Structure 1
Amino acid sequence: MADRLKRLLSGLVPDLGPLRDSRDYRLLMASGVITMFGTFITVVAVPYQMKELTGSYVAVGLVSLAEFVPMVVCGLWGGAIADALDRRMVILLSELGLMVTSGLLMVNSLLPHPQTWVLYVVGALAMGIACLQRPSLEALIPQVVRHDQLGAAAVLASLRWNLGAIVAPALGGLLVTAFGTAVAYGVDTVSFVLSLALLWRIRAVPPAEDAAPASLSSLVEGVRYAAGRSDLIGTYLVDIAAMLFAMSTALFPFLADQLGAPQALGLLYSAGAVGSLVASLTGGWTARVHRQGLGVIIAAGLWGAAMALAAVIPNVWAIFFCLALAGAADMISGIFRSTMWNQTIPNELRGRLAGIELLSYASGPMLGNARAGLMAQLGGARFSLGAGGVLCVAAVAGLAAALPKFRRYDSRTDEHALAEKARRAAQLPA
């Protein structure tokens, strides 16, 4: 009995193989942990400073709006760059640019009269640089991690993100309230300096000799490739549908008031991250799943169902549990989607497809919160939360029926997964 329990627990614990076997992956992960803390601190500091300077809800909300266009444009262009240039160099230069933007925010904060326009302009610039960098980071993973360890790498990446999402905002709140925004921006700047020291040690990753130069035609080529594979389209559409219909964090302040527990607002916001962290810590089993498409469908359906259930429960802690369950399901969906992308997309297209992926998972929450606000205006917060969850389940079921290749995806038999596995095997030293 003890041996069986031990085997069960070992199957849940994340596989550390990618960290153990790949020096470059260790450097990437260490760099990511450091910069994630700094970035989340700045994410807290910018709206806080805008509130302090203006006292305007609209001014704070416009910070996110200013970042939307750079996200779209630079996300796609960053994908084309990732396939045309040395991905390590793109990451390094972007990291340097992000360090400069954090420094500019720090300098502005130290002025006798900090300027609000700097927060908008530098915030948009930082978002653009980050979106230029992200496709190269995503595309680099399959080049530094063994093909059979890509699932484990996805779990480790999610674990890193969730730890940062829970701890770093709390640290950022402490820094800005106790020491001011200049200190917070200074910490972020230092984090980029440390990260650059680690990233510099990663080996160069030059593009293929016949790599397509970054251009509009290369972007179109990437879109055509994605459109020609219904399994990839499924990963994008299911995630967008899940976020569009069931993402409802904009409702949490109203929900907390209706529960008669405004002090529980932070609890509602943290619930999803707590569930995601638990899913990451116990997500070792996901690396042994081969039907990732079906896994995405089930996880996205559970996300919607948990949100719908939260809408009809009167107890704060029960709602917290539902939101945590939703967060766990969303994280599992993300792990499966990331594994499918890294298992099947050819290296010469990986950057451009990473740009498309960025738009799919970044635009959904923005659209979802807009949908939540509009529906709440019509029928209230609980109506919006519950109806959104039900619509999510229905949309995911409809997409599953409409995309059988996505639903039936199996990494053991899929032609793209097998071709990529064979290509990687051929590159190994004899």
Structure 2
Amino acid sequence: MAERTDAGRSGARKVLGSIVVDSRPLRIPGFRRLWISSMATAIGSQLTAVAVPKQVFDLTGSSGYVGLTGAFALVPLLVFGLWGGAIADTVDRRKLLLVSNTGIAVTAALLWAQAFFALNSVWAVLVLLGVNQAFFAVNMPTRNAVVARLVPEHLLPSAAALTGTMMTFGAVFGPLAAGALMPVIGLSTLYLVDTIALAAVLWAVWKLPAMPPLSGLVRRAGLRDVIDGFRYMATQKVLLASFVVDIIAMVAGMPRALFPEMAERTFGDPPGGGLALGWLFAAIPIGAMLVGLMSGWVGRVRRQGVAVVVAICVWGAAVAGFGLSSSLWLAVVFLAIGGAADMVSAVYRMAILQSAATDEMRGRTQGAFTVVVAGGPRLADLTHGWTAAGVGTAAAATGGGVLVIVLVVLAVVLLPAFWRYRAASVKS
């Protein structure tokens, strides 16, 4: 009887382990420190992500101007994402993280100051957003390259799932908190909370070990390093395809520039902001967080290219459903489904990039990844905002979702190596 009970418990643990997020990467001190520090900043950064488009919309009353935030953020992401990735391959990555995180904190403080002192200049907001995104573009490829030095290859999908889960945790509760607190404490305080939270990241980075290039040669990065990165990626069809399908998903499908207008004019929020705005911004991360919490299975999937393609098609269908929704809660459900699919896609794309690139090129491939992941939605802000100004928010969202499915199928036909891609090994 006791043996049956023990066997039953062992079986239950195995089943639970195949569902619940794999926590093994947290046993590594450096990764655990970075992950814990993201708890505070995950919410703080999302407060700013809501505050910027809301402030722009309040100042202008136009989704077209909200879309313009995408252009002001996209240019520094393109330039500094690629250059920052090259720098991350040629210097101590810990020092580069300290510099870039400090820059992000300073620009967040300046965003707070302009709102607190009622500067009321949409151009000041846009310029500060651009500077903030320049530091962010250097920071992200460096941080991702650091993870690959801390975590063994077979745990990279699990590390990506843990990181994504924590970020989506903030992306869920940050917008909800912003929608609830904005009418009470004011928009400027949201920027201030983000500024304070960034101190946690600086502490975590300070405690990391030095991470110079494996060659031991520290040097300045130049244009040639960026070009070498492009040449390398051009020869790697799987890496190239991973960028292409994500660009399709984000540029054609990400509808967040429509949220301020839809919250107020479709779902009945008051002009000063309210819960509908918070729910719209939180819905995609809610779906992503749920998948992250139940991601114990991700390390067992070998056909990672197929998983990415299917997930992106589900994302497109969900966005199209969101565009057709007239009920807030139905819209939230569709966005949550889209967020779940996007999380699956992100986990496997990150794992493919981490394992398929060599360490001397990892910063540059992560720089390109940052440009795509962060720049794609910014470009989507621009296109969706302007499209909505011409044909309405519903048509902009629905058409974008359908376009995602059409284009990703076409991409797979042209780049079949990605569909056939399998993980080299899967360890339990």
Q: TM-score range by the shorter chain?
A: 0.7 to 0.9
- Give the structure 1 partner of residue 248 of structure 2: 241
TM-score (normalizing by structure 2)? 0.85
- In structure 2, runs of 5+ residues without a counterpart are 1-6, 270-274
Taking the aligned partners of 2:386 and 2:109, their CA distance within structure 1 comes to 38
1:285-324 to structure 2, matched below 5 A, reads 285-311=297-323, 316-324=328-336
- Give the structure 1 partner of residue 133 of structure 2: 127
Q: Compute the displacement of 1:219 (Å).
A: 0.2
- Give the structure 1 partner of residue 235 of structure 2: 228
Identity of aligned residues (%): 33
Alpha-carbon spacing, 1:38–1:336, altered in 2? closer, same or farther (3 Å): same
- In structure 1, runs of 5+ residues without a counterpart are 422-430
**Residue of structure 2 aligned with 1:16, choices 23, 28, 31:** 23
Q: Compute the displacement of 1:386 (Å).
A: 3.6
- Give the structure 1 partner of residue 345 of structure 2: 333
**Residue of structure 1 aligned with 2:198, choices 178, 192, 203:** 192
- Give the structure 2 partner of residue 30 of structure 1: 36
Q: Which has the higher contact order (CA 8 A, sep 6+)?
A: 2
Alpha-carbon spacing, 1:313–1:101, altered in 2? closer, same or farther (3 Å): closer
Taking the aligned partners of 1:257 and 1:309, their CA distance within structure 2 comes to 19
TM-score (normalizing by structure 1)? 0.85
**Residue of structure 1 aligned with 2:48, choices 24, 28, 42:** 42
Q: Compute the displacement of 1:197 (Å).
A: 2.0
Taking the aligned partners of 2:261 and 2:110, their CA distance within structure 1 comes to 36
Alignment check: 8 A CA contact 1:41 1:173 kept: no
State the SS of the aligned residue for 1:365. Answer: helix
Residue 214 of structure 1 aligns to which amino acid in structure 2?
A: A
Alpha-carbon spacing, 1:323–1:410, altered in 2? closer, same or farther (3 Å): same
Alpha-carbon spacing, 1:380–1:230, altered in 2? closer, same or farther (3 Å): same
State the SS of the aligned residue for 2:18. Answer: helix
Alignment check: 8 A CA contact 2:111 2:128 kept: yes
Deviations 1:344-385 (A, max 9, x none): 111111111111111112232233344445665776544444
1:27-426 to structure 2, matched below 5 A, reads 27-49=33-55, 54=59, 56-57=61-62, 62-111=68-117, 118-174=124-180, 176-207=182-213, 208-210=215-217, 213-251=220-258, 264=276, 266-311=278-323, 316-372=328-384, 381-412=393-424
Taking the aligned partners of 2:388 and 2:109, their CA distance within structure 1 comes to 40
Q: Compute the displacement of 1:161 (Å).
A: 0.9
Which has the higher mean CA deviation after the structures are superposed, 66-75 or 308-317?
Answer: 308-317
Residue 77 of structure 1 aligns to which amino acid in structure 2?
A: W
State the SS of the aligned residue for 1:12. Answer: coil
Residue 237 of structure 1 aligns to which amino acid in structure 2?
A: V
Superposition CA RMSD, Å: 3.1
Give the count of matched residue pairs: 413
